[in-house]
Structure 1
């Protein structure tokens, strides 16, 4: 065996694991199917702007150990995620807060907003009871029971149906377990103590983690599996768990995202990094303007061009990038069967969103890799 660990995939989990293994004097080889490292947090510099090629990534955590760790690799900036929703040309602040309620109803006090929401929730629940419905049967009923009809119709319904490719009445209620509602004027999307973007982009984070570690790109583990399985004492696998087992129990389902990139000859296209388009008639879910992740104040105007990405959520098919696990009952039950197989492996470690069939933010991925036994 030439290596202690073969790490399949150079995303955040694989890269943090490799970094820690190197610290413990373990010899690692990282192989990556794509022609670049970094997984979905990879950035491409276009017109002097770090473009998030696989969708917007904002690092946020309340875990000081995780925050200190990533900042020991590269310093993070002060970016605060404050997305905006566009519904038929009218703008609303997110997450739902007093600014949103003022924009929606003209209310100016928390008590007025609470009365409006509670009144709508009560009417909805009474209508459900008349139909003999005791518990919400689908996402639509769940959302209305949590937030009322106006916010659901304007800010949730169309966006969610585009995201999942299904009507809200066809989606299970557990997708929306709770909705963050703030009765203060605060547009900061996250409640975490720390948030930001690596200064210079996420490539600096990945390059720092994989510094002095052997990496091979354009390598597909499955095209020469027998060779790769015999090159290291243990394998750290970050790809699709069902593919690892040759889909022997069936295929797990995913949603994927298509991106349309545009370069514009202006310094500021939309004035914000993230604008969601919540009406169903607009085919994309949101527009990302990448320069706002790292440029502030005069820096924005000093960069004469800007890059935007329109995001389209679609059904995943073979050959597409799998983004979001479809964590419904059917798929979760299938994953549990694959997980049983994985738990019997003595020399394979499964980690990350594809290997664990679970949606992860970045900070929990880092925490997971930091706490692994190596």
Structure 2
């Protein structure tokens, strides 16, 4: 059987496209090299709790169109993301707001906090930041930088802050209100039954076939011949056999444990911002969508260098990698049969709402009259 579309990957981008293509009467074959659908937003039950297997995923958007779209497939629990920063045992609210400033300095109103931050910025004497460290210091001053940015950032990127380019931190939000809501988006939540169930509903259609534990590259010629069109959501450099070289990524390692307690840390996400703690954060999954149980599940998240065989999480969008990506992008634009989309194929970090918007844009491009 020749399918209309072969989709490589069952993450959010590919799943939205598959749903829309099937809805329009097109046959779809999906290939997934993992043992499950859903890509990195996959959730699985442990001790009766939905565990975010590949890191915390909070759905947030200011687009009513995207919010209405995703609500076709799931009901949302109205979760508000309010992470805590742990610096050598000292706890601070995130994002940087009046609660954080009070915890740091005892300032009680916005005027006091503004004076404290502006005085510290002025003392740095930085006019033209040459690296990430100088950029951050020129935006938030010394205390916030050293306690809440430096250690976390160096663990995340595996490099000293003064060796990282300044454009990684274009801005640092400072809020002069007592508001711990991390996101400013109008709509925010967690699927009540988990992300896996949400994507399963997208893909439940008689015109969609899914093959798990199937690597597109292991039998590429046969897979390419099985369909009229391809939607590729994997690493763009791998598609072209790394002909210009490898793009760089950061990867992650997770350690997940079940504990016989109903509450381990009191919040869904706690960031560890010192350089001595080897992990960047601990996720306690039951706080995303409360469930009555005497157990809890936590995950420690360790950043690491990416190498072939690892899951690529974060593109390193510095000048050299972006230039390399543009060379691959030109090759992609020359392909007549294959469409490219998603975080890995576009070599950029997408929030989930951005991923859905990009997939729907490709749908409009591919089916303009439908």
Question: What TM-score do the two structures reach when normalised by structure 1?
Answer: 0.96
* Inter-partner Cα distance in structure 2 for 1:371 and 1:357: 17
| Residue matched to 2:147 | 154
User: Following TM superposition, by how much is the alpha carbon of 1:371 offset from its aligned partner in structure 2, in angstroms?
Assistant: 2.0
Matched with 2:110 is 110
The aligned residue for residue 70 of structure 1 is 70
Runs (4 or more) in structure 1 with deviation over 3 Å come to none
1:361 matched residue in structure 2: 351
Once residues 343 and 163 of structure 1 are traced to their aligned partners in structure 2, the CA distance between those partners, rounded to angstroms, is 32
Q: Residue 136 of structure 1: SS of its match in structure 2?
A: coil
- In structure 2, the residue matched to 1:230 is 225
Aligned to 2:22: 22
User: C-alpha distance in 1, partners of 2:354/2:113?
Assistant: 34
**Residue by residue, what CA displacement relative to the aligned partner does 1:163-215 show, whole Å, maximum 9, x if unpaired?**
00000000000000000110000000000000101111101111011002211
Quote the residue 2:329 is aligned against.
339
2:318 corresponds to 1:328? yes
Q: How many residues align?
A: 362
The Cα shift of 1:72 comes to: 1.0
CA distance in 2, matches of 1:244, 1:317: 16
State the alpha-carbon separation in 2 of the partners of residues 346 and 47 from structure 1: 48
Cα deviations across residues 79-100 of structure 1 (Å, max 9, x unaligned)? 0100000001110000000000
State the alpha-carbon separation in 2 of the partners of residues 309 and 190 from structure 1.
22
Task: Summarize deviations over 1:46-101 as a string: whole Å, max 9, x none.
Answer: 00001000000000000001101111111111001000000011100000000000
The answer on 1:267 being equivalent to 2:262 is: yes
Alignment-derived partner of residue 238 in structure 2: 243
**The residue matched to 1:281 in structure 2 has which SS?**
coil
**Which of 266, 280, 283 in structure 2 is aligned with 1:285?**
280
Residue segments in structure 2 that go unaligned for 5+ positions in a row: none
Aligned to 1:211: 204
Which stretches in structure 1 are left out of the alignment for 5+ residues?
Answer: 129-133
Offset at 1:35? Answer: 0.7
The whole-number CA distance in structure 2 between the counterparts of 1:242 and 1:31 is: 18
For residues 311 and 149 of structure 1, the distance between their equivalents in structure 2, rounded to whole angstroms, comes to: 26
Q: Match of 1:220?
A: 215
Shift of 1:346: 1.2
Distance in structure 2 (CA, Å) of the matches to 1:222 and 1:35: 16
Secondary structure of 2:210's aligned partner: strand
TM-score by length of 2: 0.97
Deviation at 1:264, TM superposition (A): 0.6
CA distance in 2, matches of 1:211, 1:58: 23
SS of residue matched to 2:5: strand
* 2:77 counterpart SS class: coil
Specify the alignment match of 1:256 in structure 2: 251
Secondary structure class of the residue paired with 1:255: strand
Rounded to whole Å, the distance in 2 between the matches of 1:318 and 1:204 is: 30
Partner residue of 2:289? 294
* Residue equivalent to 1:165: 158
Taking only aligned residues, the RMSD between alpha carbons, in angstroms, comes to 0.8
> What is residue 174 of structure 1 aligned with on the other side?
167
1:136 is aligned to 2:126? no
For the residue of structure 2 that corresponds to 1:371, the secondary structure is helix
What is residue 276 of structure 1 aligned with on the other side? 271
